[in-house]
Structure 1
Amino acid sequence: MAGLLKRPEALAGGAVLLALALIALAAPLLSPGDPLAIAGKPLILPLTDAAHPLGTDRLGRDLLAGLIHGARTSMTVGLLVAVVALSAGMIVGTVAGLAGGWTEAVLMRLVEAFQIVPGFLLALALVSVAGPSLAGVVLAIALGAWTGPARLARSRVLALRESEFVAAARVLGLHPAEIAFRQIMPLALPPVLSLTAIIVAGAILTEAALSFLGLGNPNVVTWGGMIAEGRNQLRSAAWLSIIPGLALVITVVSTYLVGEALTDSLTERRPR
């Protein structure tokens, strides 16, 4: 952690993510009411009306309110996808690495089967079938993101399963599940956690892309939906797409900066 504090890019990215997290948590206080409700005249220019600092869209909805509630949607989807993908990947990778034999072969063939299909296409197909609910979007994105953690967890477990403490646990008669999830998994977890930032950033981009294509929940404000809403006014009101697009870029870049610094820190601390 001390290494992260010495990296200016990690500090900058972390500050942006912390601000976004606080905005997402305080969205009902910062922007009470329905962000999809008409709040003023349509197409008010940014910085011309104190009541609407970032202006309004073609229907008169406040752009700042949309950004605030869109941050909440993006952060929620990104974190939930990371939790689901990392949990599934750790379980599958740990079982595959420790069990070996046909169990490992079956599980790794399953991982390869999911890796064949691009994550966005898989999410696109599943959301099209299941509908644009929050749970459906999270599950669809997570199904394309769990394979990386699974492969990394398996490689770490393969390196740990011949360790002396594992042999001692077997001699003591511990159940294989207890050895896997209480002895080995905590040691295999730190390298897998380094993938969190990549998964969160990818999930935010995928959710935005789905919303841009009209596959997001129409009752929830999303940055992708705001970009799509403004694309028909690019010549006359380009800010409608540029502002949420910049918010999306800043969030993803900040996430990657923190993720890169975290990965480097874990790599430096890992014993050779």
Structure 2
Amino acid sequence: MSRFRRLLGTWEGMAGFAILIILLLFGLLAPILSPGDPLRIAGRALLAPFSDPAFPLGTDRLGRDVLAGLLYGARTSLAVGLAAAFSAMVLGVCVGMAAGFSGGFVDEALMRVVDAFQIVPGFLLALAFVSTIGVSTPIVVLAIALGAWADPARLTRAQVLAIREQDYVASARVIGMHPAEIAFREILPNALPPVLALSATIVAGAIFTEAALSFLGLGNPNIATWGAMIAEGRGVLRSAAYLSVIPGAALAVTVLGVHLFSEGLGKALGDDGGRGA
């Protein structure tokens, strides 16, 4: 049975996968479902949901379509979350691999850098980075990745330290296999599964961080984001609570889907590890 089938064999994996696929389809089909600029003024301001067939979820204080913002916000959240998680995973795996495989001074030096990044909360680091460098989508992705790479690095190092003492690694050294070949062919494939299970958690954290930055006005102002939509509804929370509730609910469902997918992925990879042992 493949890992993917084992993932879908768990109710968490199936539910999380279904939620993420639906959100991904909404994001990809946003230009078809709601053509045009989602930030344009499309109708009368503060139309309540389901009061006008042209605006099923109503409009905000400026007359922008809430449904359009929700669809394009899904694209932004998933794109930023996946890009930041990928960047954090690549950096973390490279640093953890180098530290665990090299040992000695290199290990100590790299781990001190990891400790330095772990001391500072990821959101505060992202907040300071974006505030200093400037606001744009690549900067937001980089800022989130800088606050998230330390955990994958530490986990990868721990896996490498355990695996490099295995008999098959010692056998590879005896037959004269190059150290780089041992690292990437023998150690890395066996060290990755637990780290990959962590990636879903990083995606969820990245989505939350992007929404928080946008809520504070530090997201890209030229694209629709759920955080900015929630912030837009603060001023009329009592009279038009839907402006904050709808994107807030979408954010919660997205993070729930990522969390369930992470749980299912962890079980699938754990079963795979048990079979491998």
Percent identity (aligned): 62
- Aligned pair 1:127/2:112, yes or no? no
Alignment match, 2:266: 263
- Aligned pair 1:84/2:94, yes or no? no
1:168 is displaced (CA, Å) by 3.0
- Aligned pair 1:32/2:35, yes or no? yes
Alignment match, 2:227: 224
Report the AA paired with residue 185 of structure 1.
Answer: L
Alignment match, 2:178: 175
Does structure 2 retain, via aligned residues, the 8 Å contact 1:95–1:180?
A: no
Does structure 1 retain, via aligned residues, the 8 Å contact 2:11–2:264?
A: no
Alignment match, 2:253: 250
Does structure 1 retain, via aligned residues, the 8 Å contact 2:6–2:268?
A: yes
- Aligned pair 1:106/2:109, yes or no? yes
In structure 2, what is the Cα distance between the partners aligned to 1:107 and 1:21? Answer: 36
Alignment match, 1:165: 168
In structure 1, what is the Cα distance between the partners aligned to 2:15 and 2:196? Answer: 20
Alignment match, 2:241: 238
Q: TM-score, normalising length from structure 2? A: 0.94
Relative contact order higher in (CA < 8 Å, ≥ 6 apart): 2
Alignment match, 2:52: 49
1:21 aligns with one of 20, 24, 35: 24
1:118 is displaced (CA, Å) by 0.3
Farther-moved stretch of structure 1 (40-49 vs 161-170): 161-170
Indicate the SS of the match to 2:53. Answer: coil
Report the AA paired with residue 195 of structure 2.
Answer: V
- Aligned pair 1:74/2:77, yes or no? yes
1:144 is displaced (CA, Å) by 1.0
Does structure 1 retain, via aligned residues, the 8 Å contact 2:12–2:263?
A: no
In structure 2, what is the Cα distance between the partners aligned to 1:22 and 1:182? Answer: 36
Report the AA paired with residue 161 of structure 2.
Answer: L
Report the AA paired with residue 158 of structure 1.
Answer: L
Indicate the SS of the match to 1:45. Answer: coil
1:134 is displaced (CA, Å) by 0.9
Report the AA paired with residue 199 of structure 1.
Answer: I
Indicate the SS of the match to 1:78. Answer: helix
1:10 is displaced (CA, Å) by 2.7
1:171 is displaced (CA, Å) by 3.1
How many residues align? The count is 272
In structure 1, what is the Cα distance between the partners aligned to 2:187 and 2:12? Answer: 33
Indicate the SS of the match to 1:9. Answer: helix
Report the AA paired with residue 188 of structure 2.
Answer: M
After superposition, the CA RMSD in angstroms is 1.3
Runs of 4+ displaced beyond 4 Å: none
In structure 1, what is the Cα distance between the partners aligned to 2:250 and 2:76? Answer: 13
Give deviations 1:82-105, integer Å, cap 9, x for gaps.
111111111111111111000000
In structure 2, what is the Cα distance between the partners aligned to 1:104 and 1:174? Answer: 22
Structure 1: unaligned runs, 5 residues or longer = none
1:6 is displaced (CA, Å) by 3.4
Structure 2: unaligned runs, 5 residues or longer = none
Q: TM-score, normalising length from structure 1? A: 0.96
